[in-house]
Amino acid sequence: MFKALYLQNSPEFSCVEHNISKEELLKEEGDTLVKVHYSTLNYKDALSITNSAKIARRFPMIPGIDFSGEVVESSDPNLKAGDLVFMNGMGLSENHYGGLSELAYVKGENLLKVPDNYNPFDVMAFGTAGYTAALCVNRLLDHGIKPQEGEVLVSGASGGVGMVAIMLLAKLGFEVVALSSKVEETPFFYQLGAKRVEDATAFYSDGGLLQKSRYQAAVDVLGSIPLANICAQLNYSGIVAACGLARGMDFPASMAPFILRDITLAGVDSVLAPKEKRLRAWELLSRLISSKEITEQIETIDFNEAIAVSKQIIDGTIRGRYVVKIA
Ligand code: NDP
């Protein structure tokens, strides 16, 4: 038997710590058994654990879209017992038992090896949030953004994606503007590398179809009206990499900035991103952000604190990221 968080929907939704048999786990599709050392709490995990959105596609389900740990046994020719590995997304906690668990059973081809300059804790300190930030930044770089061509806006600055996006863009020499509802955290944003901080609440109401051009690019995690306002404030040929929906799934925008300013709205998905994109994102993280720099922004919590912290994440009241210590 091993311990995991367990979601059930009958007779009603519940999320509890539960003992599960290894036989049950081995019914999942896979070829590699991993002893999980760490998992993490992303916004999506919080949605799942608090039943705030339909993340699990079947029940019962183990939540957790990420995990890191050590291979116990594998029939994948590229893996052996003792290898340090991790996984982000690929259906974990949706249609495959997830990472908030002492054991995981997955396909070896979906695992990545922990980069040389990181350990299993570090990769979960980034988690899907940090890796998605890197996907967004790579998308902006592919568009051709340049440090001398203006400011780059990052929304949800106090959260996982926003925090890492600020760090990456600042290290690449960009002038980063942190957009946050927590302006009192300004010293923290400066410490991450932001040059300026803007109050996100000013973006929560419609500011008009076409507004003053202010940013060459943006990373957005809010969606909805804030995303429409960001589009309306991009410079000519600007781009926003949009990956989140913390303010809503809708997009009440107009075509004006698209056809009058040639802007691009680039959607970014981490869950099914192909392996080359994943490896490129992790290469960017490991080249630019040291283990020390990421881990000093992280809180570590125990398994049994995951439910309470998830509620705070949904309320948007906490700062930074949480690694869950499993083993
Ligand atoms: P976090 O919870 O760490 O941070 C989200 C931030 O958004 C908060 O810190 C807050 O920033 C702001 N926020 C949160 N809730 C609200 C709210 N109700 N109203 C206004 N602002 C809010 O989340 P992550 O950084 O992990 O994820 C951010 C978004 O990106 C989520 O929607 C998540 O689902 C999405 N995501 C998408 C992925 C993909 O593959 N496309 C992968 C990873 C994440 P502040 O107070 O500073 O403004």
What amino acid occupies position 268?
V
pLDDT digits (tens, 9 = 90+) for 109-159: 999 999 999 999 999 999 999 999 999 999 999 999 999 999 999 999 999
Ligand 1 atom, smallest distance to 156 CA: 11
Kindly list the distances between the CA atom of residue 100 and the CA atoms of 113, 137, 224, 235, in Å, as whole numbers in the listed order. 19, 28, 30, 42
Which residue minimizes the CA distance to atom 38 of ligand 1?
A: 243
Residues of the chain with pLDDT under 70: none
Rounded distance from Cα 161 to ligand 1 centre (Å): 7
Residue owning the nearest CA to atom 1 of ligand 1: 159
β-strand partners of 240: 218, 265
pLDDT, tens digit, 9 for 90 and up, residues 26-59: 999 999 999 999 999 999 999 999 999 999 999 9
- The answer, yes or no, to whether any atom of ligand 1 lies below 6 A from the CB of 226, is no
For the beta carbon of residue 82, count every other beta carbon within 10 angstroms.
8
Residue 204 confidence (pLDDT): 98
Amino acid found at 190: Y
- Rounded to the nearest whole angstrom, what is the distance from the C-alpha of residue 254 to the centroid of ligand 1? 24
Ligand 1 contact via 297 beta carbon (within 6 Å): no
Query: Which residue type is seen at 70?
Result: E
190 Cα to the center of ligand 1, angstroms: 19
What's the CA gap between 200 and 202, in Å, rounded? 5
Could you tell me the domains of the chain?
2-117+292-325 (3.90.180.10), 128-267 (3.40.50.720)
CB atoms under 10 Å from CB of 152, counted, come to 27
Q: What is the pLDDT of residue 181?
A: 96
pTM: 0.96
Question: Crossing angle for the helix pair 160-171 and 120-143, nearest 10 degrees?
Answer: 60
